[in-house]
């Protein structure tokens, strides 16, 4: 009960919704607005393969995945879905799925194999071919500059905790912008900045495998500096570009109605959902997370950083998978001041998990979209990722009957339609993922694709039932059964 009350007060905050809610009263509840973009997402290391081709350098994920014991079954992204060679086939699949937007990322080590220096033209050519082919197919490119594959030499020089990495990132962004900003209008600077800094530098579970809470805080600051610098570089390259990042957002609910847990949930929200948004929009960090007196020292803050971080984003991308219940952790959790403990939130009565073990919590998409609309003064929103691991393979008939994925997507899309009806300015939805692919530490064991990939049979692709269902949603612009 307490949770509902808390939620209601949060939603009352997002009061901007009321007028639009009234305006949208006559549209069917599962209808999306005209012009809504339906898409799918992938990331370079997860799908491309061709890890040593055309002058590509080593990334932290190559190094990590090649270290025995780090990845389930010691899988790696050497071949992955082989999209580097099969991108035309992937684009044909996007068309068959009626999709109008493709979110993909650029591998920094293909562009600057050592993380610095001149462009590797053969690597850049690949993204020009891919982008041109998408445009020709009438599909909007949504390009992510960084989806976790830092060039290994930059990690050797200190990685994201080293603020020089922000300068290197600005150089890289300038090279990519010169090559693509004339034809790519929509950009995500970072994918999930909270996830890659936290998993990579605080928990050590992802590349580069460091568990150093203080270095982690520095990494978050470098990423904010890099975000601001890349924003300016892209804008300078082409005035019409629209820039956001894909933020990993989680609605936070207090585990109990105690004041301590409510305050912890608010701290967790600011740290998880706003740590890379507020610096961009307002030039400062969310208050009440790090101890004020130590914040500058903990982050390695220098005078003028407020101006560097500031990047008035044109839209925000939201990656949503689940919600969390938050408790106060009086003895701390390694990040000074944060003092929170999180567990997955479950939908009341629906104690279901996807095959990767993440709780299914569709209402959380509504909650976080409404909250982020409020926090950003109603900036346009694109859902840059949402989807489910559902490890169903071909049946006796050779088809992939992945009904749980369709059910997952439908439940989430209904919540998204509700948020739009209540005034949230959402203009696009991207399913994670177009293809089954390399799921980081889970290797190839978790299948998120709308399209099945047979990793034993030359990366053969086959559209799953859920893919066909999603194609019909995209065609009708409605999330009907
Ligand atoms: C997100 C990542 C994406 C994918 C999905 C399942 O956190 O951004 O690359 O692995 O999870």
User: pLDDT tens digits, residue range 148-176?
Assistant: 999 999 999 999 999 999 999 999 999 99
User: Probe ligand 1: pick from 440, 444, 449, max atoms within 8 Å of CB?
Assistant: 440
Ligand 1 atom showing the smallest separation from residue 439 Cα: 10
pTM beyond 0.75: yes
Centre of ligand 1 to C-alpha 46, Å, is 9
| φ, ψ of residue 219 in degrees (nearest 5) | -60, -40
Query: Is the pLDDT at 13 greater than 80, yes or no?
Result: no
Closest residue by CA, ligand 1 atom 4 = 439
Residue whose token pair is 């007196």: 293
User: Would you put residue 209 in left (φ > 0), alpha (ψ -120 to 50) or beta?
Assistant: left
- Per-residue pLDDT band for 350 (boundaries 50, 70, 90) equals low
User: Probe ligand 1: pick from 439, 441, 447, 450, max atoms within 8 Å of CB?
Assistant: 439
Marked catalytic residue, from 192, 341, 382, 442: 192
Q: Rounded CA gap, 452 and 429, in Å?
A: 20
Centre of ligand 1 to C-alpha 69, Å, is 21
Q: Which pLDDT does position 28 carry in this prediction?
A: 87
- Per-residue pLDDT band for 349 (boundaries 50, 70, 90) equals low
Asked whether 149 lines ligand 1 (CB < 6 A), one says no
Asked whether 448 lines ligand 1 (CB < 6 A), one says yes
- Per-residue pLDDT band for 351 (boundaries 50, 70, 90) equals low
User: pLDDT tens digits, residue range 361-379?
Assistant: 999 999 999 999 999 999 9
Name the 3-class secondary structure at 327: strand
User: pLDDT tens digits, residue range 220-268?
Assistant: 999 999 999 999 999 999 999 999 999 999 999 999 999 999 999 999 9
Nearest by Cα to 175 from 245, 125, 228, 227: 125
Active site residue 26: no
Q: Which pLDDT does position 12 carry in this prediction?
A: 41
Asked whether 439 lines ligand 1 (CB < 6 A), one says yes
DSSP 33: P
Residues 6 or more apart whose CB falls under 8 angstroms from that of 304 comprise none
User: Probe ligand 1: pick from 319, 383, 434, max atoms within 8 Å of CB?
Assistant: 319
Where is 381: in which H helix or E strand? strand 381-385
Asked whether 191 lines ligand 1 (CB < 6 A), one says yes
| Position with higher pLDDT, 11 vs 49 | 49
Nearest by Cα to 318 from 244, 227, 249: 249
- Per-residue pLDDT band for 455 (boundaries 50, 70, 90) equals very high
Centre of ligand 1 to C-alpha 224, Å, is 20
Q: Which pLDDT does position 25 carry in this prediction?
A: 53
Closest residue by CA, ligand 1 atom 2 = 192
Query: Is the pLDDT at 347 greater than 90, yes or no?
Result: no
Q: Which pLDDT does position 24 carry in this prediction?
A: 47
Average pLDDT, the chain: 94
Asked whether 432 lines ligand 1 (CB < 6 A), one says yes
Asked whether 440 lines ligand 1 (CB < 6 A), one says yes
Marked catalytic residue, from 58, 385, 415, 439: 385
Centre of ligand 1 to C-alpha 356, Å, is 12
Ligand 1 atom showing the smallest separation from residue 446 Cα: 6
Report, as an integer, the average pLDDT of 380-399.
98
User: pLDDT tens digits, residue range 421-444?
Assistant: 999 999 999 999 999 999 999 999
Active site residue 96: no
Cβ pair 234, 181 in contact under 8 A: yes
Give 312's Cβ-side CA count (13 Å radius): 2
Query: Is the pLDDT at 20 greater than 50, yes or no?
Result: no
Nearest by Cα to 434 from 59, 134, 214, 153: 134
Query: Of all residues in the chain, what percent carry a pLDDT higher than 90?
Result: 91
- Per-residue pLDDT band for 27 (boundaries 50, 70, 90) equals confident
Centre of ligand 1 to C-alpha 443, Å, is 12
Asked whether 192 lines ligand 1 (CB < 6 A), one says yes
User: Probe ligand 1: pick from 40, 83, 192, max atoms within 8 Å of CB?
Assistant: 192
Could you tell me the CA-to-CA distances from 360 to 386, 389, 464 in Å, in that order? 11, 11, 20
Asked whether 431 lines ligand 1 (CB < 6 A), one says no
Centre of ligand 1 to C-alpha 293, Å, is 35
Ligand 1 atom showing the smallest separation from residue 440 Cα: 10
Q: Which pLDDT does position 345 carry in this prediction?
A: 72
Asked whether 246 lines ligand 1 (CB < 6 A), one says no
Ligand 1 atom showing the smallest separation from residue 195 Cα: 7
Asked whether 392 lines ligand 1 (CB < 6 A), one says no
Closest residue by CA, ligand 1 atom 10 = 439
Cβ pair 443, 73 in contact under 8 A: yes
Sign of CA dihedral 96, 132, 317, 344: positive
Computed on alpha carbons and rounded to an integer, the radius of gyration of the chain in Å comes to: 21
Closest residue by CA, ligand 1 atom 5 = 432
Burial 131-168 (b: 16+ CB within 10 A, else e): bebbeeeebbbbbbbbbbbbbbbbbeeebbbbbebbeb
Lowest mean pLDDT among 24-33, 394-403, 461-470: 24-33
Residue whose token pair is 């998120």: 448
Give 210's Cβ-side CA count (13 Å radius): 19
Q: Which pLDDT does position 3 carry in this prediction?
A: 46
Nearest by Cα to 226 from 125, 147, 295, 305: 305
């Amino acid at each position: 009960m307490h949770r509902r009350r808390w939620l209601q007060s949060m939603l009352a905050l997002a009061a901007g919704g009321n007028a639009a809610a009234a305006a949208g009263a006559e549209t069917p509840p599962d209808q999306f607005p005209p012009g809504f973009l339906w898409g799918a997402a992938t990331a370079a290391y997860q799908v491309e393969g061709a890890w040593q081709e055309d002058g590509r350098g080593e990334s932290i994920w190559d190094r990590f995945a090649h270290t025995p014991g780090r990845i389930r079954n010691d899988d790696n992204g050497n071949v992955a879905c082989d999209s580097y060679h099969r991108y035309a086939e992937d684009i044909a699949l996007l068309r068959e799925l009626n999709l109008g937007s493709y979110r993909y990322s650029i591998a920094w080590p293909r562009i600057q194999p050592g993380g610095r220096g001149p462009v590797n033209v053969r690597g850049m050519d690949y993204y020009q071919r891919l982008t041109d082919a998408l445009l020709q197919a009438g599909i909007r490119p949504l390009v992510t500059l960084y989806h976790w594959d830092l060039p290994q030499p930059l990690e050797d020089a200190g990685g994201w905790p080293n603020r020089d990495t922000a300068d290197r990132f600005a150089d890289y962004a300038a090279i990519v912008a010169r090559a693509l900003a004339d034809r790519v209008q929509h950009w995500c600077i970072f994918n999930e900045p909270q996830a890659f800094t936290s998993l990579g530098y605080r928990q050590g579970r992802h590349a580069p495998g460091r568990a150093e809470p203080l270095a982690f805080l520095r990494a978050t600051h470098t990423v904010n500096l890099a975000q601001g610098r890349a924003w300016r570089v892209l804008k300078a390259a082409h005035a019409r570009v629209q820039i956001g990042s894909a933020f990993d957002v989680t609605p936070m609910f207090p585990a109990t109605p105690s004041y301590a847990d409510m305050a912890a949930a608010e701290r967790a929200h600011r740290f998880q959902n706003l740590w890379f948004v507020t610096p961009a929009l307002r030039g400062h960090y969310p208050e009440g997370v790090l101890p004020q007196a130590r914040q500058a020292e903990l982050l390695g803050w220098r005078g003028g950083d407020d101006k560097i971080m500031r990047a008035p984003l044109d839209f925000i991308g939201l990656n949503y998978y689940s919600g969390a219940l938050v408790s106060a952790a009086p003895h701390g959790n390694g990040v000074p001041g944060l003092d929170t403990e999180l567990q997955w939130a479950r939908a009341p009565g629906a104690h279901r998990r996807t095959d990767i073990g993440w709780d299914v919590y569709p209402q959380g998409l509504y909650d976080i979209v409404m909250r982020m609309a409020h926090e950003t003064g109603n900036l346009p929103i694109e859902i840059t990722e949402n989807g489910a691991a559902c490890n169903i393979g071909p049946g006796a008939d050779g088809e992939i009957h992945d009904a749980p994925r369709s059910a997952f997507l439908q439940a989430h899309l209904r919540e998204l339609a509700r948020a739009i009806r209540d005034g949230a300015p959402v203009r696009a939805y991207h399913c994670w993922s177009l293809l089954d692919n390399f799921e980081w530490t889970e290797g190839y064991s978790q299948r998120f694709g709308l399209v099945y990939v047979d990793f034993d049979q030359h990366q053969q692709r086959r559209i799953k039932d859920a893919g066909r269902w999603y194609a019909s949603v995209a065609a009708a612009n409605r999330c009907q059964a």
